[in-house]
Structure 1
Amino acid sequence: MNLLDRNSNTNIIIAGIIALIVGVGVARFVFTSLLPSMLESTITLTFAGVLASLNFAGYLSGSIFAVFIKNMQTKVKWFRIGMVLAILTTLVLAITTNEIIWLISRIIAGFAAAMGLVVGSAIVMSKLKFDDKTKAMGIHFSGIGFSIAICDIVTRIVFFYAGTWQDAWMVLTIFGAIIALYPMYILNFDKTEPSHTTHHKIDKSIFSVFVIVLLAAYFTEGVGFVIQGTFLPDIINSLEGLEGFGTLTWLIVGISGIFSCIIWMRLAARFGYITIIIIAMSIQALGVLIPTFTVNPLFIVLSGVFYGGTFVGLVALFMSLGGKLAGSNPVILMGALTTAYGIGQVIAPLYAVVLTDWSGNYNYALYVTAIIIIGGILLLLGAKKILKVQY
């Protein structure tokens, strides 16, 4: 097997997974792993919420920007820029504690994550040579789960050897710089390939009533994702008798996410995307609520499984459905979907820290989050019944 063959489907999927580990893991999710340690010594919960919100604002700006990248070679260029920015913004957190620099770096890291996820996934989808890319894209999006688990394991190794959270950021910078080389090489096109260098026009006709409903539902999923995606270890650590249990739960989230993509995508192929999305969002809403009514460790672990086992799969389901609906230029609808998701991500950390500071615990933030997810479920149920969608 030639691992340097740019046209190998296996290599393309491996490169896509690694790109997600760098763009989404190193540039975003490891912040959640390191948050408890950073809260102990350096930052406040409110500042953490602002950092998270700005990170997602950067992600949102990158998603909108991705919609207007019309040329495949340009997509490759911006994907590579995203990989570099993901590494540099991680380095910033290792070498300074200047709050202004941190705020700027988190915005740029969010932009980098969008290049890795939105543009990178579009490149992967365009390069893969399968008649039905559903299962392959399910494997690709498992990279989100890998990004959580692998980056969390890296931080655990650093802490095991008595390293600090700043040491962890430095190790992650080096780790990301090394592994990013592979996707930057593989996810490229020959400049002579006309099928990959045509300019795509933005077709407004793809934004049907159903697609608008889908965008609204993905907004609610963005909200549903972000509370636990930012604060889960601290949520668990704040529960009586579960101090220190949060980081283990976060690792379980990542492991659950690895396998969930493939399972949910196969279920979608058999029973339809919308039905499976509704089921996954229902499970996620239940997982959000579990820490509000129990401190039983088994149920808390189940909450992590429900979260990791749904949010990664839901990203894969929404993005793959968007790719199917968009036709020849998947990045347009993928970008629009991620924009809706991103708006939810920006809003959620802000109301979470306000409600948590007001109430003294995370319960109210989790209640509001679950209600918003349920709103998205109701929208999709309405689409099935009224619009008679067949997806």
Structure 2
Amino acid sequence: MPNPTSSPRSAVQAALVGALCLASGMGIGRFAFTPLLPLMQDAGLSLPHGAWLASINYAGYLAGALLCAAWPLPAGVVGRAGLLATALTTLAMGLGDDYRAWLLWRGLAGVASAWVLVGASSWALAELARRRRSAWSGWVFVGVGSGMMLAGGLGLVAGVRGWSAAAGWQVLGGLAAAVALVAWRPLGDAAGLPAAAPRAAAPAGVFTRDAWILIACYGLFGYGYIIPATFLPALGRQLFPDPQVFGWAWPLFGLAGAVSTLVAMRWFTPVAPRRVFGWGLVLMAVGVAAPALAPGLGALLVCAACVGGTFMVVTMAGFQEARRVAGDGSARLVATMTAAFALGQLVGPLTVPAGPLSSVIIGPSLAAAAALLASAAVLLRPRARPLPVHP
């Protein structure tokens, strides 16, 4: 293991590279589809076909997470592969209008984004820990919200200026390629770091009861948040057809995600990650239910703020809790949690039937909010014994 004082890479560089990786793999590879969906609908894509494109991406995300959990590879290798695949599949979305090809590209993009999340975040958090800067982990996860804000801003500009969805995909693919070039060498320097190291304190392949509870709650989180994360701009487009109005939904969602990680890093560090996870889900449930209970501009803003402002805090808290539960084996637990999350979000879009979105989304949104509250109740329940604390 390299000595913290002997490596030329600083903690600032590690946090920046990790943030750029997550901005590409998650903000673009996973979430660019959401702000570009209204433009694809303008070109004739139906809502059910859009839901299938979303779900095939989530299925790929599930497959990618399962591969990370079952086939341990160096974190840098996993991150590199994910970044390259993110760039190629995003560019490919803008090179044709064959729906079957779109299904393939979105599925592979889902695999890639899981690899980036598990590989790049494991790499960055390990680098920060070696430099005794674990408290800076929030700067790494700022990348997700920043990437979403970038993709949403491009979708807003494209809608206002009348660009095609293909042009938006090509621009974002070019940006993803640039990130892969910038991050390639730093990720390669960590080639010896495993993406899923076994926990020394437990036999390989064995999770504790606390770990399984965490996996289940993280899976319900994936199911609960995915309705607004997939359809928020499309719902805004139906209620307010002017792109200068509905186009702001996703940039605000991403901005809330980016700012929230910094707020959590500054104010919530002394709070147990499990409680941050639980209360984050409660606030998220409010945002998920708002458009279903009171459709309108105010509800959309509440949704963007509550869901966008909690989903990355919940992710960060979940990963921190995984380290408390599993110690040095946390990367494998994170990969399994990511797989559960992907399974939950795979189901979500398929619960939205065909029809006017503002009416058909009510039932699925309320079910999602209920799932989030149930998960929060488990996490916030008083514990009979404290969890072990791993550094």
In structure 2, the partner of 1:19 is 21
Shift of 1:279: 1.2
Deviation at 1:56, TM superposition (A): 0.8
* 2:210 alignment partner in structure 1: 210
Worse overlay, 322-331 or 272-281: 322-331
Whether 2:160 is the aligned partner of 1:143: answer no
Deviates more, 1:322-331 or 1:48-57: 322-331
- For 1:142 and 1:359, locate their aligned partners in 2 and report how far apart those are by CA, in whole Å: 31
1:8 paired with 2:7, answer no
2:361 match = 362
The structure 1 residue matched to 2:69, chosen from 67, 70, 74, is 67
Distance 1:34 1:347, change over 3 A: same
Measured in 1, the distance between the counterparts of 2:79 and 2:27 equals: 15
d(CA) in 1 for partners of 2:92, 2:260: 33
The answer to whether the 8 A contact 1:265-1:313 is kept is no
For 2:233 and 2:277, locate their aligned partners in 1 and report how far apart those are by CA, in whole Å.
Answer: 26
1:53-202 equivalences in 2 (<5 Å):
53-72=55-74, 75-130=75-130, 133-189=133-189, 196=193, 200-201=197-198
- How far 1:331 sits from its partner (Å)? 1.9
The answer to whether the 8 A contact 2:220-2:371 is kept is yes
Structure 1's 176 and 210: CA in aligned 2 closer, same or farther, altered over 3 A?
Answer: same
What's the counterpart of residue 255 of structure 1?
255
Looking at structure 2, the residues matched to 80 and 312 of structure 1 have their Cα atoms a distance apart, in angstroms, of 22
TM-score (norm 1): 0.89
In the alignment, residue 140 of structure 1 is paired with which amino acid? V
3-state SS of 1:271 partner: coil
Partner of 1:36 in structure 2?
Answer: 38
CA distance in 1, matches of 2:51, 2:294: 25
1:137 deviation in Å?
1.3
1:78, distance to aligned residue in structure 2 (A) = 2.6
Deviation at 1:347, TM superposition (A): 0.8
**CA–CA distance in 2 between the matches of 1:6 and 1:316?**
27
Q: Which residue of 1 aligns with 2:370?
A: 371
In 2, the alpha carbon distance for the partners of 1:190 and 1:209 equals 32
Query: 1:390 Cα deviation (Å)?
Result: 7.4
Deviation at 1:157, TM superposition (A): 3.7
Equivalent position SS for 1:97: coil
3-state SS in 1 of match to 2:97 = coil
Q: Deviations over 1:31-78 (max 9, x none)?
A: 000111111223111111111111011111111111234343xx3223
Q: Residue type matched to 1:227 in 2? A: I
Report the residue type matching 1:13 in the other structure.
A
Normalized against structure 2, the TM-score is what?
0.89
Shift in Å, 1:179: 2.5
Aligned equivalents of 2:195, 2:79: Cα separation in 1: 18
Q: Deviations over 1:285-336 (max 9, x none)?
A: 0011111232453443122111110011111111222134332243201101
- Greater mean deviation of Cα atoms: 278-287 or 134-143: 134-143
In 2 relative to 1, CA 179–199 (structure 1 residues): closer, same or farther, beyond 3 Å? closer
Deviation of residue 128 (structure 1)? Answer: 2.0
Residue-by-residue CA offset, 1:5-35 (whole Å, 9 max, x unaligned): 8621111111111111111122121100011
Cα distance in 2 for partners of 1:198, 1:247 equals 37
Tell me the SS of whatever aligns to 2:351.
Answer: helix
Distance (whole Å) between structure 2 residues aligned to residue 199 and residue 50 of structure 1? 31
Residue 366 of structure 1 aligns to which amino acid in structure 2?
S
* CA–CA distance in structure 2, aligned partners of residues 206 and 267 of structure 1: 34
In the TM superposition, residue 381 of structure 1 has moved relative to its aligned partner by: 2.9
Residue 348 of structure 1: SS of its match in structure 2?
Answer: helix
- Is the contact made by 1:272 and 1:390 (CA closer than 8 Å) also made in structure 2? no
Task: Please list every run of 5 or more consecutive structure 2 residues that lacks an aligned counterpart in the other structure.
Answer: 1-6
Count of residues in Structure 1 that have an aligned counterpart in Structure 2: 379
TM-superposition CA deviations, 1:114-172 (whole Å, max 9, x none): 11111110111222245655421111111110010012223334445442111111111
- Kindly indicate whether the alpha-carbon contact (under 8 Å) linking 2:35 and 2:233 is maintained by their aligned counterparts in 1: yes
SS in 2 for 1:29: coil
Alignment of 1:336-347 (within 5 A): 336-347=336-347
Distance in 1 between residues matched to 2:278 and 2:229, nearest whole Å: 20
**Whole-Å separation in 2 of the counterparts to 1:159 and 1:350:** 26
How many percent identity over aligned positions? 24
Mapped contact 1:134–1:265 kept (Cα < 8 A): no
For 1:6 and 1:227, how far apart are their aligned partners in 2?
43
d(CA) in 2 for partners of 1:132 and 1:79? 22
More helix by share: 1
Return the match for 1:49 from 48, 51, 54: 51
Corresponding residue of 2:326 = 326
**Deviation of 1:176 (Å):** 1.5
C-alpha distance 327-95 of structure 1, shift in aligned 2 (>3 A): same
2:234 aligns with 234
Cα distance in structure 2, aligned partners of 1:31 and 1:170? 12
* Structure 2 SS opposite 1:238: helix
Query: SS at 1:128's partner residue?
Result: helix
Shift of 1:89: 0.8
The CA distance in 1 between the partners of 2:360 and 2:128, in whole Å, is: 46
Task: State the distance in 2 between where 1:359 and 1:171 align.
Answer: 30
Using the TM superposition, name which of 154-163 and 266-275 deviates more.
Answer: 154-163
Contact 2:11 2:133 in 1 (8 A): no
Equivalent pair of 1:267/1:276 in contact (CA under 8 Å): no
**SS at the partner of 2:189?**
coil
